[in-house]
Amino acid sequence: MSITPPRERAGHSSRTEVESLLHAVLCPRCSADLDLSAPILRCRKCGQAYPRLGHMPVLLSDPLGYLASCRRQLDRLERQVKRTVRDIREQLQAADVLPLTRKRCETTIEGITGQLADVRAILEPGLPATTRSEGQARSQQAPATLHHLPYLYRDWGWRSEGDGENEQALSMVEEMLGYAGPGRTLVMGAGACRLAYDIHHRHPDAEMMVMDLDPVLFAAAHAVTHGGSLTVREANLEMGDMNQAVKEWSLVAPKGPVDDARFHFVIADAVNPPLDSRAFDTVLTPWFIDQGPEDVRDLISTLHRLLKPGGRWVNLGPLKYDLDVPVSRRFAREELFDLAERAGFHVGTWESATVPYLVSRLNGRGKVEWVLAFSATRLEPPAKGSRPDAGPPPWLVFRHLPIPTFEGQALFWSEASMIRMVVSSIDGRRTLDDIARRVAERADQPDISMSQVRIAVRQCLQLVHPTCAHNTKQ
């Protein structure tokens, strides 16, 4: 496996009381402690170095591969823009092109070439001068460069309004937080960071850590939240009126810069965050749980690990899963709440609403989305043997709960080597994640994700563990 999932480690419960969240970070390769305040990030245990994209640490198991993918995205974008410009200019050679059509097409060319320059100005200064060669293996790809640009326009370019998209999102999250402050907070999939920024200014005593993989959104958000200003063009190939073709948005933070000691940017995989256990009072998942993880159940286990007892998971977003997610794992609200309760959460306040989503201020186009907001408090994991007649055992569903031994296990034998490994790994303490990690290390196949390994381990447990067999017969 390319990533070593962080695990509960003996002797580290006191790390929830560190002076800063900068000291709650782990090495993505070996889970040893890292200190983000150090000028040069290098793991003292495995020796892995972690470069920065600008000022932001890249905490991935293959950070150079990620930075190389960022540069490839820029190069790919430039080739795409050149092709589009060439196609438009070829179309303008036709004899039947109207003057207004020519004007619209020339404006479009100007817009998309200007947008390319804007994106380069955001991302390129933070990239190292050289990265690894194209032929080397790479594990973590940067998201598509242009796909998420509308978040920048909305978060930092649009004028604040009482019922604006940013304001509605903040209002719903504040409703979930109630009167208690968020404390030490992790924002998973923070994107362009406006929601995290607004919470930071609403609760200046809270310490925030924002995490994402999108280099353009994060580089822009870091610049804006630290007092800078940027200009980014919105360019449309489809428009109703010709004045909807291009607009330059000036991106600024409306309430001034963040407190750098209490607002930390980390480029990392929020599905498997390299963070210590029980480090956070609040974990916020805005528009994330249906897009980030391959399996929401695995994310719920991660959330349980990251939160202190009594900490809160606050969610905001639609349950609109990618089409490649199996239908059986596209959980509705009721299923999601049931999963949370089984994993060791108590679901409290919740609400749903229909809200506008990325409705462009330039051309008026966008979407309307149903969104769900809720707050769930982290309790201790369910006791062994609880809810025996209410579905599968929790340890089969979630990766953070210990798998119990079973009668006759010492005499068990199977022709399948993987089944033998799974059964021999069950000791009453190891979790699904622990066993999946052992299987992954033995398999040594980097192209297989940890989520896929967990699925395989679950299948083995369903075949051999008597508790699973009992549940299947029901």
In this prediction, residue 18 carries a pLDDT of 63
In this prediction, residue 468 carries a pLDDT of 84
Tens of pLDDT along 18-51?
Answer: 678 999 999 999 999 998 888 889 999 999 999 9
d(CA 260, CA 20): 12
In this prediction, residue 145 carries a pLDDT of 60
In this prediction, residue 69 carries a pLDDT of 92
Say what the alpha-carbon torsion angle 93, 99, 103, 108 is, to the nearest 10 degrees. -50
Say what the alpha-carbon torsion angle 267, 271, 275, 276 is, to the nearest 10 degrees. 180
d(CA 103, CA 343): 59
Among residues 118, 107, 109, which one has the least CA distance to residue 145?
A: 118
In this prediction, residue 38 carries a pLDDT of 87
- Residue 23 tokens read as 């000291």
In this prediction, residue 148 carries a pLDDT of 87
Neighbours of 307 (CB within 10 A): 27
Strand partners, 267: 58, 212
In this prediction, residue 5 carries a pLDDT of 54
Residue type, 315: N
- Residue 349 tokens read as 């306040």
In this prediction, residue 141 carries a pLDDT of 61
- Residue 202 tokens read as 């609403």
Q: Which of 3.40.50.150, 3.40.1350.10, 1.20.1630.10, 3.40.50.1000 is the CATH number of 1-380? A: 3.40.50.150
Neighbours of 150 (CB within 10 A): 18
Task: Please tell me what DSSP assigns to residue 54.
Answer: T
CA 185 to chain centre: 14
Residues lower than pLDDT 50 in the chain: 1-3, 9-16, 132-138, 385, 388, 472-474
Q: Which residues contact 43 (CB under 8 A, 6 or more apart)?
A: 27, 29, 30, 32, 34, 49, 50
d(CA 198, CA 209): 13
Would you list the domain boundaries of the chain?
1-380, 394-473
In this prediction, residue 212 carries a pLDDT of 96
Tens of pLDDT along 146-202?
Answer: 678 999 999 999 999 889 999 999 999 999 999 889 999 999 999 999 999 999 999
d(CA 109, CA 87): 10
d(CA 47, CA 32): 10
